[in-house]
Amino acid sequence: MQPTRARRALLPGMLAIAVVLAACGKDNKPPAAQTPEVKVVTLKDETVTLDTSLPGRTSPYRIAEVRPQVDGIILKRLFVEGSDVRQGQQLYQIDPSTYEATAKSAEATLESSRLLAQRYGKLVGEEAVSKQQHDEAKAAFLQAQAAVDRARINLRYTKVLSPISGRIGRSLVTEGALATNGQATALATVQQLDPIYVDVTQPSTAILRLRRELANGQLQSAGANAARVSLVLEDGSTYAEAGRLEFSEVAVDQGTGSVTLRAVFPNPRHELLPGMFVHARLAEGVKTSAILAPQRGVTRDLKGQATALVVNGGNEVELRVIKTDRTVGDKWLVTDGLKAGDRVIIEGLQFVRPGAKVKATEATTTAAAPAPASAPAAASAPAAAKS
């Protein structure tokens, strides 16, 4: 009987506790789900100047190896290694003593043959000598003149002169060395550095793609700017002087499948030295009605495909698989998958998924105008196909 009475005594308290808990449960109901907010950028057609970044190396505008043209011992070196020299400036002095003696001997022979020819010229009229003797005397005189000229030339060649103006490198010989006409080793090398060449290579596939796009009207010619080239140095800085495209090879290298392009750049401060690795940016053309998508709104799926989340007319999120060609500043140049008027999500991507309802607001950007589009030489053509 006692347990029954105890349970009866506890029953009112338990009922009160249940009422309180029920009331609390009503007050703590979860709130209704809110529509996530995202920031979007509305795409529009833009005009973009496309260019290509090509690797290359600098080479001197002119290069001349200084070689002796006569034999002899080098007596003096008359230049400072690494300095600028002028065309015709004397660089070395070869011992001239034997050539001076040869020149004097030739001059003496010339004078003797001249007097003999004059004497025979008077005597042939009096028939004191035959015409043959007179002709032989004249021929000997002419040979003596040639011998004098040759001796003077050899004497002049003992002064080794710079064939061009430019910067001379280190001397490969010293005083006392024997110089030989036609020797394999140059005495020194002079290079003209202003202006300077930049040789770059472009895949033949990129040239074919460019011609095809120009023929189809997908690209417009860049006009006079097509021949202008800018340069990016090894440290990433931009070279101050603009260059100009000189020519391209008429044949494709069978080993690399590329074509060599040559540009010439002013180099007044000699900042560019032969052999430097650089990147040249060449204008390809102007693309009208280009679609540029912010890089913040483009991601990659597990297959490596470029994707973007777009808000449609019903404020629902759509997943788009897109194709990109190259970067333009902080944007992607899109060739397929997006069009003008699409609203691409750039903020709040982590809170939404395809099919979800969202509240989209236009993002305010203060970015500068798009830079020219650039594509690496080896990847510019196949980039659209692989993206």
Q: What is the CATH number of domain 68-95+158-185?
A: 2.40.50.100
Task: For residue 281, give the DSSP letter.
Answer: E
pLDDT tens, residue order, the chain (387 aa): 444 555 555 555 555 555 545 555 545 555 556 888 889 999 998 888 777 788 899 999 999 999 999 999 999 999 999 999 999 999 999 999 999 999 999 999 999 999 988 888 888 777 777 888 888 889 999 999 999 999 999 999 999 999 999 999 999 999 999 999 989 999 999 999 999 999 988 888 777 776 776 676 655 555 655 567 889 998 889 999 988 888 777 788 888 888 888 889 999 999 999 999 999 887 777 778 889 999 999 999 898 899 999 999 888 999 999 998 888 888 898 989 999 999 999 998 888 889 889 888 898 864 444 555 555 444 333 333 333
How many angstroms separate the CA atoms of 53 and 279, rounded?
A: 6
Percent of residues, the chain, with pLDDT higher than 90 = 46
Q: For position 262, what pLDDT does the model report?
A: 87
Q: Which fold has domain 41-59+194-386?
A: Elongation Factor Tu (Ef-tu); domain 3 (2.40.30)
Query: CB–CB of 377/54 below 8 Å?
Result: yes
**Domain ranges in the chain?**
41-59+194-386, 68-95+158-185, 97-157
Structure tokens given for 354 = 């395809």
| Confidence at residue 379, expressed as pLDDT on a 0 to 100 scale | 39
For residue 379, how many other CB atoms are within 10 A of its CB? 12
Q: How many other C-beta atoms lie within 10 A of the C-beta of residue 346? A: 20
Q: Is 110 exposed, middle or buried (0-12, 13-18, 19+ CB in 10 A)?
A: buried
Q: 195 preceded by cis ω (within 30°)?
A: yes
Phi-psi label, residue 270: left if phi above 0, alpha if psi -120 to 50, beta otherwise: left
Residue range 216-262, pLDDT digits in tens? 665 555 565 556 788 999 888 999 998 888 877 778 888 888 888 88
CA-closest candidate to residue 198, choices 84, 376, 55: 55
Contact by Cβ (8 Å): 374, 206 = no
pLDDT at 279: 92
Q: Is the pTM of this model over 0.85?
A: no
pLDDT in the model for residue 221: 56
Q: How far is CA 338 from CA 108, 161, 162, 245, 332, in A?
A: 93, 67, 63, 35, 11
Are 121 and 115 in contact by the 8 Å Cβ rule? The answer is no
Closest CA to 58 of 196, 201, 217, 238: 196
The domain made up of 97-157 has a fold known as Helix Hairpins (1.10.287)
Cα(261)–Cα(113) distance, integer angstroms: 60
